Amino acid sequence: MNKTIKVEGNALVRRKPDRMNLAFTYRFQKERYEEVLQLFETSYSRFLESMERAGVPAEKIKTSHFSVHPRYEQEYDGKLYREVFQGFEISTVLNLRLPLSFPNLSEIFSFLSESGETPQVGLTFSLEDEKEVMQEAMKEAVLDAKKKAETIAETLGLTIGHVISVEEVSESYGSYSKVEGSPRLLKAMDLSMTPEDAEANRKVLLTVEIL
């Protein structure tokens, strides 16, 4: 029976983000359905006009959430709780992913602010080629495991032989910079910030034969 050793390889690859991801969250509420629908349509039209002025094509804007429903709140009259109709609510989240450019970002916030639009804005950063950085992390994790196996074998006066198996234990990817606020407040910020690097983390378990 061949003798084997198992070693764990780890890799953490960092890259500077080259993409900015914007999420615009809208919520509208009116007593009548026709009123809230008109409010949404007017606001959405102004939003698209602002994006066009900032040089953002409409097809870049993706809707990740849209809901319309009656809204109720519980009220207590001293004896019983009852649901009271508050009107109709429309909520939506519009996503936009663009090459990272702080001048372009400033334009987007400026035109939105000028239009009077006040969505809640979430801003995060990422990489265009996330797959490439994950693959690099995998290669480095395997090489790390191989180097450890060689060190163990050399210490014992042995050599490593064939690779028996490689098992991926875990993987993670993320960029942890996040900015939130309204267009008017974000417009007033110094947007020449430096986002945290995006990180790809992979761990593998390597089983090799020892001779």
Q: Please tell me whether residues 11 and 74 are part of one structural domain.
A: no
Interatomic CA distance for residues 177 and 194, integer angstroms: 9
Q: Which range of residues forms the domain containing residue 209? A: 1-17+128-176+193-211
Strands 160-174 and 198-210: antiparallel
pTM (predicted TM-score): 0.80
Query: What band does 117 get if pLDDT is binned at 50, 70 and 90?
Result: confident
State the pLDDT at residue 190. Answer: 61
**Per-residue pLDDT tens digits for 150-160:** 999 999 999 99
Question: How many domains are there within the chain?
Answer: 2
pLDDT higher than 90, residue 90 = yes
Element (H, E) at 165: strand 160-174
Asked, for residue 181, whether it belongs to a domain, the answer is no
Residue 172 has pLDDT above 70, yes or no: yes
Asked whether the predicted pLDDT for residue 140 surpasses 70, the reply is: yes
Angstrom distance (rounded) from CA 147 to CA 137: 15
Alpha helices, DSSP H, located in the chain: 33-53, 102-115, 130-155, 183-187
Same domain, 149 and 106: no
| pLDDT at residue number 76 | 80
End-to-end CA distance of the chain: 12
Q: What is the mean pLDDT of the chain?
A: 91
List residues bridging with 25 in a β-sheet.
93, 120
Q: Per-residue pLDDT tens for 22-48?
A: 999 999 999 999 999 999 999 999 999
* Structure tokens, 210: 């020892």
Q: Are 106 and 187 in contact (CB under 8 A)?
A: yes
Residues 84 and 98 in one domain: yes
- 132/210 same-domain check: yes
62 vs 102 pLDDT, higher one: 62
CA distance linking residue 193 with residue 20, whole number of Å: 12
Report the CATH number that the domain containing residue 101 is assigned in CATH. Answer: 3.30.70.2970
| Boundary-marking domain end, from 87, 105, 126 | 126
Give the pair of three-digit tokens for residue 152: 């163990």
Based on the fold, state whether residues 26 and 82 are members of the same structural domain. Answer: yes
- Nearest CA-CA partner of 180 in 32, 49, 18, 24: 24
Contact of 120 with 25, CB cutoff 8 Å: yes
Angle formed by the axes of helices 102-115 and 33-53, to 10°?
140
Is 188's pLDDT higher than 80?
no
Cα–Cα distance measured from residue 200 to residue 133, given in angstroms and rounded to the nearest whole number: 7
Pair (81, 136) in one structural domain:
no
Mean pLDDT on 136-161: 94
pLDDT at 2: 73
Please report whether residue 29 resides in a domain: yes
Contacts of 76 (CB under 8 A, 6+ apart): none
Task: Answer yes or no: is pLDDT of 199 > 70.
Answer: yes
